[in-house]
């Protein structure tokens, strides 16, 4: 009896789970299908091409198309910007969370409330003010413009998450370290950072992926073909009357691989880091 | 090694005063226990000595040097926390050597001192383990090891045994005492457990609501409590207490309770008709053969523990606890008589709770 109820419950879950999985995977399969089809076959509407080919990848990797003239350069731009955003956001958020949560800095509560408040304003609303600000600093068309803009957007959430995770570390650890003779910086480096590692990985990955996937700000703040990131370059594909869809999809697939790899490598931390301090005292 | 003195120390959190002008001295090499119910301020006092809490007013001196404005690290103290507070990401070896590493001590010296502390505490097999791989008692020992390695002037213990089970607690209690007898480092030990205080301390400070009730050796507190609070706090089972009025009739002094029981008293300084609180410890009530002079009562419950027997008895309207040595021959419902040696009786003023001296 009990097993039958168990089977029934599982069947119901599967009934929901399978369609949702297909729904999620279908676009990705579509992406993959296009990338291994020739231009003629791409729109044939088949579930598997008659003559699967890797030619599209070869074209992309060898930059053999007008839209792909700067593929590697743009891929590199994306990489540099995403990594810089990840590292900078992490540094800012870790220092801020440490000061607010562990050193109990005055005004910490206020900073935290401000961070939360920024979520009432959609990032798109800030695009134009940000453009003007970067213009004022003379940073337009430099990678710094996009890096700083993305750090601005990612930092409040990162601070918030790290502050919550910090609060879960037992305060006696700080006191023990103080009595052992640690200065605040030593406490930060030798006790706080190692214990926060899972949360730091999660938050760093979050910021990195946010910048990697960003389109709007990259489109606004960078304009020369050599400076833009790959998502913006992908957007350019659509400006032609006869868009090379198979190449667009191939590039998109390539662009989606690093985040997938990162997520796979750090998924242990992502789950642990975003749900708890993950530290047993 | 060092002495410690508290001088008029006060602590307020906002408008709430939790410590009201405390002064006392701890001698060089002494094992001093601060004991009291939770919320009495004993931990706050210890944390002020450790430099983890600001001192609102008054001074604390270690070895004659006022340390009010010193950082924890400059006070030359080591502390063992209730939660152990071991660094989870460091091995036992690194936990113990952390303070020396921060002081930029020579690597070889750190090795030697950690090894010596590990040997004292029987931690040698565990040096490369992480705290999560240790049992509660082992973690406790690592926490002590971290303190020993520093060779500080004063050891501070903040309820270090509260997280251990009863059996381990007794074992660690004697280990800490043995450690103190070996190292002779001045120690301040905070606990809410009066048995821990009695068994470990050279001297005890009994605290209540942010003031000191009494300071003395364990047996001084047991035999001559200054007030009702100390009388009832120290000793297990707790002292029996009844309310009554002092009577002097024909040169004989006794305390008469409202239910008509007459309790014998040695000649006391209290006046005839003065309302008093009468206290007698469970082991000072002695079963006698009936018919003899004494206080009559009725057995309610018999609780044998093996070496001793605890009796709950009804005397007048009050229920009291009696500790009888050996095996009991009485049954619940038996009418018995208790002898009380007037010398073992404690009298307190009913209003102030202060001891009335003979």
ipTM: 0.84
Does residue A145 share a domain with residue A18? Answer: no
Query: Cα separation of A272 and B213, whole Å?
Result: 49
Of the listed ranges A44-48, A109-113, B192-196, B203-207, the least confidently predicted one is: A44-48
Does residue A117 share a domain with residue A50? Answer: no
Classify domain B240-349 at the CATH class level. mainly beta
Retrieve residue B47's tokens: 């944390």
Does residue A166 share a domain with residue A57? Answer: no
Beta-carbon contacts of B22 under 8 Å, excluding residues fewer than 6 positions away, are B6, B8, B9, B10, B45, B58, B207, B210, B211, B212
Percentage of chain A with pLDDT > 90? 51
**Residue B102 to residue A180, Cβ atoms within 8 A:** yes
Retrieve residue A240's tokens: 């032609």
For A230-269, the pLDDT digits (tens) are 999 988 888 877 788 889 999 999 999 999 898 888 877 7
For B152-181, the pLDDT digits (tens) are 999 999 999 988 888 889 998 999 999 999
**How far is B147 from chain A, CA to nearest CA, in Å?**
9
B98 vs A: CB within 8 A: yes
Residue by residue, DSSP assigns B124-182 as GGGTTS-GGGS-HHHHHHHHHHHHHHH--SEEEEESTTTTS-HHHHHHHHHHHHHHHHH
Interface of A with B (CB under 8 A): 170, 172-173, 175-182, 186, 190-191, 194-195, 279-281
> Does A161 reside within a domain?
yes
Beta-carbon contacts of A107 under 8 Å, excluding residues fewer than 6 positions away, are none
Average pLDDT of the residues in B26-40: 95
Look at residue B23 and tell me whether its pLDDT is greater than 80: yes
B217 vs A: CB within 8 A: no
Chain A contacts of B99, Cβ < 8 Å? 179-181
Nearest to A176 among B77, B81, B89 (CB): B81
Does residue A49 share a domain with residue A138? Answer: no
The alpha carbon dihedral of B298, B303, B308, B312 has a sign of negative
- Going by pLDDT thresholds of 50, 70 and 90, the confidence category of residue A279 is very low
B261 CB neighbour count, 10 Å cutoff = 19
> Does A6 reside within a domain?
yes
Question: Residue B19 in 3-state DSSP?
Answer: strand
Query: Cα separation of A200 and A263, whole Å?
Result: 14
pLDDT number for residue A280: 35
Of the listed ranges B24-28, B213-217, B348-352, the least confidently predicted one is: B348-352
Q: At which residue do the structure tokens 């989606």 appear?
A: A256
Contact B96, B142 (CB under 8 A): yes
Give me the residues paired with residue B216 across strands: B204
**Beta strand pairing call for B335-340 and B295-304:** antiparallel
Look at residue B292 and tell me whether its pLDDT is greater than 70: no
Last residue of a domain, one of A61, A77, A96: A61
pLDDT number for residue B291: 64
Residue by residue, DSSP assigns A53-118 as --HHHHHHHTT-SGGGTTHHHHHHHHHHHHHHHHHHHHHHHHHHHIIIIIS--TTHHHHHHHHHHG
Closest-CA residue of chain B to A281: B88
Percentage of chain B with pLDDT > 70? 98
Beta-carbon contacts of A176 under 8 Å, excluding residues fewer than 6 positions away, are B79, B81, B85, B86, B87, B146
For B226-282, the pLDDT digits (tens) are 999 999 999 989 999 999 999 888 778 889 999 888 898 887 677 888 899 999 999
**What's the whole-number average pLDDT of chain A?**
88
Last residue of a domain, one of A15, A41, A61: A61
Does residue A133 share a domain with residue A213? Answer: yes
Does residue A94 share a domain with residue A21? Answer: no
**Residue B81 to residue A172, Cβ atoms within 8 A:** yes
CATH at residue A137? 1.10.3720.10
pLDDT number for residue A278: 32
Look at residue A271 and tell me whether its pLDDT is greater than 80: no
Does residue A192 share a domain with residue A248? Answer: yes
Residue by residue, DSSP assigns B301-353 as EEEE-SSEEEEEEEETTEEEEEEEES-----TT-EEEEEE-GGG-EEEETTT-
Does residue A86 share a domain with residue A53? Answer: no
**What's the whole-number average pLDDT of chain B?**
91
Does residue A175 share a domain with residue A95? Answer: yes
Contact B146, B96 (CB under 8 A): yes
Look at residue B65 and tell me whether its pLDDT is greater than 80: yes
Q: How many CA atoms lie within 13 A of B133 on its CB side?
A: 11
pLDDT number for residue A88: 97
For B110-136, the pLDDT digits (tens) are 999 999 999 999 999 999 999 989 988
Look at residue A276 and tell me whether its pLDDT is greater than 70: no
Contact B188, B156 (CB under 8 A): yes
Closest by Cα among B173, B147, B146, B145 to B159: B173
pLDDT number for residue B329: 83
- Going by pLDDT thresholds of 50, 70 and 90, the confidence category of residue A215 is very high
Closest by Cα among A149, A118, A125, A121 to A135: A149
DSSP B27: -
Closest by Cα among B93, B197, B208, B96 to B145: B96
Output the pTM of the full model: 0.83
Closest-CA residue of chain B to A197: B89
> Does A44 reside within a domain?
yes
Closest-CA residue of chain A to B103: A181
- Tell me the residue range of the domain where A33 lies: 2-61
Average pLDDT of the residues in B186-212: 95
Does residue A14 share a domain with residue A136? Answer: no
Does residue A30 share a domain with residue A75? Answer: no
Look at residue A277 and tell me whether its pLDDT is greater than 50: no
Query: Cα separation of A277 and A206, whole Å?
Result: 16
Query: Cα separation of A177 and A183, whole Å?
Result: 8
Contact A216, A149 (CB under 8 A): no
Give the CATH fold of the B4-233 domain.
Rossmann fold (3.40.50)
Q: At which residue do the structure tokens 């969370």 appear?
A: A97
Distance of CA B85 to the CA centre of its chain: 23
Contact B256, B248 (CB under 8 A): no
**Residue B83 to residue A281, Cβ atoms within 8 A:** yes
B104 vs A: CB within 8 A: no
Look at residue B223 and tell me whether its pLDDT is greater than 50: yes
Average pLDDT of the residues in A86-98: 96
Closest by Cα among A205, A208, A230 to A219: A230
Based on the number of CB atoms within 10 Å of its own CB, is B91 exposed (0-12), middle (13-18) or buried (19 or more)?
middle
Look at residue A7 and tell me whether its pLDDT is greater than 50: yes
Residues in chain A: 281
pLDDT number for residue A281: 35
pLDDT number for residue B272: 84
Q: How many domains does chain A have?
A: 2
Query: Cα separation of B93 and B88, whole Å?
Result: 12
Last residue of a domain, one of A61, A85, A105: A61
B162 vs A: CB within 8 A: no
Percentage of chain A with pLDDT > 70? 95
Question: Residue A280 in 3-state DSSP?
Answer: coil
Average pLDDT of the residues in A113-139: 89
- Domain residues of chain B, as ranges? 4-233, 240-349
Q: What is the dihedral of CA B122, B123, B125, B127, to 10 degrees?
A: -160
> Does A281 reside within a domain?
no
Per-residue burial over B122-156, b = 16 or more CB atoms within 10 Å of its CB, e = otherwise: ebeebbeebbeebeebbbbbbbbbbbbbbebbbbb
> Does A11 reside within a domain?
yes
Look at residue B289 and tell me whether its pLDDT is greater than 80: no
DSSP B87: -
Does residue A201 share a domain with residue A93? Answer: yes
pLDDT number for residue A67: 84
Query: Cα separation of A4 and A43, whole Å?
Result: 46
B232 CB neighbour count, 10 Å cutoff = 17
**Residue B89 to residue A182, Cβ atoms within 8 A:** no
């Amino acid at each position: 009896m009990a097993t039958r109820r168990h089977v029934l419950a599982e069947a119901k879950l599967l009934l929901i789970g399978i369609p949702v999985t297909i729904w999620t995977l279908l676009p990705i399969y579509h992406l993959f299908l296009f990338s291994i089809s020739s231009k003629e076959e791409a729109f044939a509407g088949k579930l598997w091409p008659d003559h699967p080919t890797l030619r599209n990848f070869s074209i992309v990797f060898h930059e053999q198309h007008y839209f792909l003239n700067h593929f590697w350069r743009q891929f590199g731009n994306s990489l540099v910007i995403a990594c810089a955003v990840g590292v900078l956001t992490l540094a800012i958020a870790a220092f801020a969370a440490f000061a607010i949560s562990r050193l109990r800095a005055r005004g910490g509560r206020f900073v935290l409330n401000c961070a939360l408040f920024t979520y009432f304003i959609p990032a798109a609303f800030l695009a134009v003010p940000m453009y003007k600000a970067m213009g004022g600093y003379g940073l337009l068309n430099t990678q710094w413009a996009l890096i700083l803009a993305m750090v601005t957007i990612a930092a409040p959430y990162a601070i918030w998450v790290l502050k919550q995770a910090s609060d879960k570390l037992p305060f006696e650890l700080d006191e023990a370290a103080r009595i052992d003779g640690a200065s605040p910086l030593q406490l930060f480096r030798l006790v706080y950072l190692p214990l926060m590692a899972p949360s730091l990985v999660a938050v760093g990955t979050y910021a990195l992926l946010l910048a990697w996937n960003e389109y709007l700000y990259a489109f606004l703040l960078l304009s020369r073909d050599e400076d833009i990131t790959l998502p913006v370059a992908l957007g350019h594909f659509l400006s032609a009357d006869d868009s090379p869809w198979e190449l667009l999809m191939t590039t998109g697939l390539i662009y989606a691989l690093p985040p997938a790899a990162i997520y796979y490598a750090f998924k242990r931390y992502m789950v642990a880091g975003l749900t708890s301090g993950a530290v047993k005292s | 090694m060092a002495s410690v003195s508290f001088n008029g120390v006060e602590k307020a959190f906002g408008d709430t005063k939790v410590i009201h002008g405390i002064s006392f001295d701890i001698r060089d090499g002494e094992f001093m226990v601060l004991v009291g119910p939770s919320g009495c301020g004993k931990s706050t006092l210890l944390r002020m000595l450790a430099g983890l809490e600001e001192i609102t007013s008054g001074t604390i001196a270690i070895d004659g040097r006022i340390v009010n404005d010193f950082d924890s690290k400059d006070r030359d103290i080591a502390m063992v926390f209730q939660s152990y507070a071991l660094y989870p990401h460091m091995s036992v070896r690194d936990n113990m050597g952390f303070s020396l590493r921060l002081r930029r001590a020579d690597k070889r010296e750190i090795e030697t001192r950690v090894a010596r502390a590990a040997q004292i505490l029987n931690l040698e097999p565990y040096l490369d383990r992480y705290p999560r791989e240790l049992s509660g008692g082992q973690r406790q020992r690592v926490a002590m090891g971290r303190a020993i390695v520093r060779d500080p002037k004063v050891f501070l213990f903040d309820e270090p045994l509260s997280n251990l089970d009863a059996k381990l607690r007794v074992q660690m209690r004697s280990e800490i005492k043995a450690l103190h007898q070996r190292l002779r480092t001045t120690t301040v030990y905070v606990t809410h457990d009066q048995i821990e205080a009695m068994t470990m301390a050279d001297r005890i400070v009994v605290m209540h609501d942010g003031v000191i009730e009494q300071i003395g050796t364990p047996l001084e507190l047991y035999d001559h409590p200054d007030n009702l609070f100390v009388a009832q706090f120290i000793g297990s089972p707790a002292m029996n207490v009844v309310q009554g009025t002092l009577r002097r009739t024909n040169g004989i002094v006794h305390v008469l309770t409202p239910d008509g029981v007459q309790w014998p008293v040695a000649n006391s300084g209290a006046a005839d008709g003065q309302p008093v609180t009468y206290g007698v410890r469970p082991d000072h009530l002695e079963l006698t053969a009936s018919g003899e002079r004494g206080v009559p009562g009725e057995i309610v419950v018999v609780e044998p523990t093996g070496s001793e027997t605890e009796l709950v008895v009804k005397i007048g309207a009050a229920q009291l606890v009696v500790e009888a040595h050996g095996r009991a021959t009485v049954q619940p419902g038996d009418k018995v008589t208790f002898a009380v040696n007037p010398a073992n009786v404690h009298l307190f003023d009913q209003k102030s709770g202060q001891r009335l001296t003979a």
